[in-house]
Amino acid sequence: MGNKNKKSAAEQAAAKAAEQQTATVETPATQQEDLSFTKILNLSKNKKGLSNDSKVILANLVHEAWVQDEDYASVRESAKVIRDGFMGDAIVTSIIEGNDAFAWIIRNDEKRYLAVKQILAEQGINLPEFKALPAPTKEQLKLAGAVDQTIEGTRIVTVTRDDVSKEAKDKKKKEKAIEETNPTTNPAEIQNEKQLAASLSNLLTKSSENLDVRIKTVINFYRGYLTIQANKAENKEEELKKVKEMSRSEMLAKIAEIVGPCPFALDGHGKMFRNLLVKNNTIITPFCLYRRTARNTEKDPIDDNFVADIVKILIVWSCNSAIANANRTIAECERVIKKKEKELGETKDKSEIAILKAGINAWKDQAKKPVAIIEEMNRVIDTMNNISTDEIDSLLTDYNNEDTSTEEYKRSHLIVDNILKTYYPDINVEKVDQDALFNNIQQQAGVIVNMFRDPLAQSIAYSESNIVELKETKETKEEKKEK
């Protein structure tokens, strides 16, 4: 009779992974220093890129300092995006490096867990069901840096190799293989298209910088490469002029074409922006979400047009990658169907004929799924290429609609909320002139939409020159009551 207390091989691997992984968060979890927004960002500025342990540490620091702390409510949504991006990358990297499982401790919060589960699912990572998560052992809590070893309300999440999609693992393996070749960061050393693609891919995925900083770096690299090539051309001046006139959006589109499928580290963002666009039927949501995570300093202020370029290219890149994957699936289905049809024509065995026919029908059904994906992705690309101002034109009317159940009402409130969070996070809304405030919100929303439209098709009704300065002059209701 077997020993009931003996752990299975999978359980042992999970326990080992939990011990190793939770140990990596011991130092930051026990630090008493106040970890500010800037300090945490500075931890990620490693020219060699973050190690896998560092990704976990940084994800935990981001969660502790930004997501849980009420003082950082204005950046909470953006912090979650960064945190989950680090965690997704750390999980897949750990798995492809040969570990059987990846584990970490979470708080007993089902709502937050389901949100993370959904985001990581977009990256090809299937988290266990919340109710199936066991409580961590005291030793695991100790390794995680928990001061109170009797702490309750925590669970341990274990992701095994089988929980990560083949697509995610394959994509990360290819990126790691490129990284291990140590591609050059000097555009003058590029000798062929293969080297160019490797360097561009590596610059996009290996750096620990914010996404907008990475993309600026890769654009500068590509522009440098094109300039060097133009200087070698017989019609030098003409080619240099072409390079100079290329917009960032055109550069990004060309980089995406050269690199191929959207890299793992970027694809999660692309899918998230794509889903927000489809779900909320407005480009304002993904734009504002990303803008709140972008680098913004006095020396390097945010460029809204650049943010729009990034959001658009990531959405389209994500769609094109999904289309390419779907086409590969269709090709494989067709290959198998042809093979079975050939076998069908060569046999007279009735039972074998029945099996082959059933198999052919099953593969034909399987081929319909990627066709539906291609149709959906083309719809999203079409939406991106034909962004309308209709939702902005009727924004204030929809916002004040008495019927709060309409999609237009919900969308208008979502747009207003996003503009307030993104452009007026520190202003007391009740203290400013409401007409001026909502005029600014509508104008800012229109300016954003115009960034996604062809320059010749932009609406002249919306302009930054129409946005006025807001001054707090009124008293809030609470302040009046206190008097």
Mean pLDDT throughout 454-472? 92
* Res. 441: pLDDT tops 50: yes
Number of domains in the chain: 3
Chain centroid to CA 306: how far? 17
Q: Give the residues across from 156 on adjacent strands.
A: 105
- 334 with 401, same domain? no
- 320 with 425, same domain? no
DSSP, res 64: I
Q: Is residue 16 part of a domain?
A: yes
**Residue-number span of the structural domain to which 342 is assigned:** 313-384
- 27 with 118, same domain? yes
Q: Is residue 68 part of a domain?
A: yes
Mean pLDDT throughout 386-406? 94
Contact 159, 125 (CB under 8 A): yes
Backbone angles phi, psi at 407, to 5 degrees: -65, -35
Q: Is residue 202 part of a domain?
A: no
CA-closest candidate to residue 313, choices 264, 280, 370, 274:
274
CA-closest candidate to residue 216, choices 252, 243, 250:
252
- 16 with 131, same domain? yes
- 347 with 471, same domain? no
Mean pLDDT throughout 326-341? 92
End-to-end distance of the chain based on CA atoms, in angstroms?
Answer: 79
* Res. 178: pLDDT tops 70: yes
Q: Is residue 215 part of a domain?
A: no
Q: Give the residues across from 104 on adjacent strands.
A: 157
How does residue 105 score in pLDDT terms, banded at 50, 70 and 90?
low
Q: Is residue 261 part of a domain?
A: no
- 378 with 401, same domain? no
- 368 with 401, same domain? no
Q: Is residue 282 part of a domain?
A: no
Q: Which of 136, 164, 192 is the last residue of a domain?
A: 164
**Kind and range of the H or E run holding 47:** none
Dihedral class, residue 454 (left if φ above 0, else alpha if ψ from -120 to 50, else beta): beta
Q: Is residue 216 part of a domain?
A: no
Q: Give the residues across from 157 on adjacent strands.
A: 104
- 83 with 150, same domain? yes
The per-residue pLDDT for 83 is 52
pLDDT digits (tens, 9 = 90+) for 228-267: 999 999 999 999 999 999 988 889 889 999 998 888 778 8
The per-residue pLDDT for 475 is 65
Count the residues in the chain. Answer: 483
Q: Which of 164, 189, 224 is the last residue of a domain?
A: 164
Q: Is residue 177 part of a domain?
A: no
CA distance 117 to 340: 39
- 414 with 372, same domain? no
The CA-based diameter of the chain, rounded to the nearest angstrom, is 96
Question: 146-155, 199-208, 459-468: which has the minimum mean pLDDT?
Answer: 146-155
Neighbouring C-beta atoms of residue 294, cutoff 10 Å: 17
Q: Which of 335, 354, 384 is the last residue of a domain?
A: 384
- 16 with 121, same domain? yes
- 128 with 33, same domain? yes
* Res. 325: pLDDT tops 90: no
* Res. 347: pLDDT tops 80: yes
Mean pLDDT throughout 37-47? 39
This prediction has a pTM of: 0.72
CA trace torsion 369, 370, 371, 377 (10° rounding): 120
- 328 with 361, same domain? yes
Only one residue has tokens 């990475």, namely: 214
CA distance 363 to 259: 31
The per-residue pLDDT for 25 is 31
